[in-house]
Amino acid sequence: MAIRPLVILPDPRLREKSEPVDAITDDIRALAQDMLDTMYDAPGIGLAAVQIGVMKRVVVMDLAKKDEERQPLVLINPRITWASEETSVYEEGCLSIPDYYEEVERPARVRVAYQTLEGETVEREADGLFATCVQHEIDHLDGVLFIDRLSRLKRERVTKKFAKAAKREAAG
């Protein structure tokens, strides 16, 4: 389909809450394919629609390693229905905050409910990288970035860095 430009911090759209998908249409299927193409091109393991400027509750993920066959997953209107008290720490990055990585603590296990592109409602348990990634992407749909889960100092430092870069690019 198409590789779309990524929305980069400090773009204010990253702070907006995405709208639910009312019906799974050909437009939503095309959006999901564009999101997968964009994610693979970046490369990344997850992408929320807001990251390409579409304010819909759509997430794509693929946790397959480089030498494995692709395993694309599309989640429409995903939501966390349960989270463990136990936590885990993963080093996270974000396609909308390029080349910045930081350790983030999140629930180690979650249950996520979503619709597939076929309209089927699925609820499944997630742990490990899948749990981290699905929480990261659902945060995007709610206008939350992984840097919001860091200390204020780290968050302010990275926010200022990207704001300065955006100003330089706009003046450029």
Reading the block at residue 18, the tokens are 């995405």
Per-residue pLDDT, 40 = 97
What pLDDT shows up at residue 5? 98
* Distances 100 to 76, 96, 118, 136, 162 between C-alpha atoms, Å: 27, 10, 35, 15, 10
Q: What is the pLDDT of residue 144?
A: 98
d(CA 161, CA 148): 15
Report pLDDT for 66: 86
Q: How far apart are CA 92 and CA 98, in angstroms?
A: 11
Residue 52 three-state SS: helix
Question: pTM of the prediction?
Answer: 0.96
Q: Whose CA is closest to 136, among 98, 87, 102, 92?
A: 92
Residue spans per domain, the chain: 12-171
Distance of CA 117 to the CA centre of its chain: 18
Q: What CATH superfamily is the domain 12-171?
A: Peptide deformylase (3.90.45.10)
Q: Give me the tens of pLDDT residue by residue for the chain, a chain 172 residues long.
A: 799 999 999 999 999 999 999 999 999 999 999 999 999 999 999 999 999 999 999 999 999 998 999 999 999 999 999 999 999 999 999 999 999 999 999 999 999 999 999 999 999 999 999 999 999 999 999 999 999 999 999 999 999 999 999 999 889 7
**Positions marked catalytic:** 137
Find all residues with CB under 8 Å of 8, minimum gap 6, and list them: 96, 97, 98, 162, 166
Chain-centroid distance of CA 56 in Å reads 12
CA 81 to chain CA centroid, Å, is 18
Query: What pLDDT, on the 0 to 100 scale, is given for residue 172?
Result: 78
